[in-house]
Chains A and B, each alone.
Chain A
Amino acid sequence: DAGVIQSPRHEVTEMGQEVTLRCKPISGHNSLFWYRQTMMRGLELLIYFNNNVPIDDSGMPEDRFSAKMPNASFSTLKIQPSEPRDSAVYFCASTLQGGLTDTQYFGPGTRLTVL
């Protein structure tokens, strides 16, 4: 399997612009997680889906952030409008919920810089 795929790997944008991050989970996995990592706050869970349904979005910082999972093989995280404080590395991870373990498989991340 190709593993979790994220795109783009790097994104540089200006404040106020819309940013869309994309994730393709591992085939067969039914749970998908979006994380944000910064030096100051560490690894934060933003939202997670189970069977394409958002289960817990309590980590989404504010209304500027939204996430969708239209099908089992694709998810997006959108920031509109973006702000410099959104600069971070955004990770997507997937797992097989209900399996023997909760091991999560992470993508390579998207490094977002908002100028």
Chain B
Amino acid sequence: SQQGEEDPQALSIQEGENATMNCSYKTSINNLQWYRQNSGRGLVHLILIRSNEREKHSGRLRVTLDTSKKSSSLLITASRAADTASYFCATDGGSGNTGKLIFGQGTTLQVKP
């Protein structure tokens, strides 16, 4: 099974609301990343959080990491229609800087205007 499992699989909210997506993983990690994929496009890196960090911000994005629970969350505040996309978490699986990532199944977010 996938290293990362996102929850929920799909999320629909109104513009201006906050969106929270969760990711769980199985093995130890060095870092965890979140990516976004717009329909018909490749994945785009959003944010990376290292295993010794608990929280990180980037603009309207807030990522938390709980290594004891092997879980992470991505919060998008004040969502916009343009945030409509699929969001994936990815871990290195503790692979020791090989560059290889393991992606989850993704959360599909729809932001209604």
Contact = CB atoms under 8 A, between A and B. Distances in A.
Contacts of A102: 31, 33, 48, 92, 97, 99-101
Contacts of A4: 42
A106 interface: yes
A102 B43 CA distance: 14
Q: Closest 8 A-B residue pairs measured CB to CB? A: A106-B42, A97-B99, A31-B99, A42-B105, A106-B43, A43-B103, A103-B45, A95-B99
B98 A55 contact: yes
Interface of A: 4, 31, 33, 42-43, 45, 48, 50, 55-56, 91, 93, 95-98, 101-109
A18 B101 CA distance: 29
B44 interface: yes
Interface of B: 2, 31, 33, 40-45, 48, 88, 90, 92, 97-106
A91 B33 contact: no
Contacts of B40: 109
Judged by DSSP, the binding face of A is strand
A45 B100 CA distance: 9
Nearest to A91: B42
Given A45-B100, A102-B97, A104-B99, 10 more contacts: A31-B99, A33-B100, A42-B103, A55-B100, A95-B99, A102-B92, A102-B100, A106-B43, A106-B44, A108-B41
Contacts of A56: 100
Contact of B106 (A42, A48, A103): A42
**In the complex, which of the residues B40, B42, B104 has the most CB atoms of chain A within 10 Å of its own CB atom?**
B42
Nearest to A109: B42
B97 A98 contact: yes
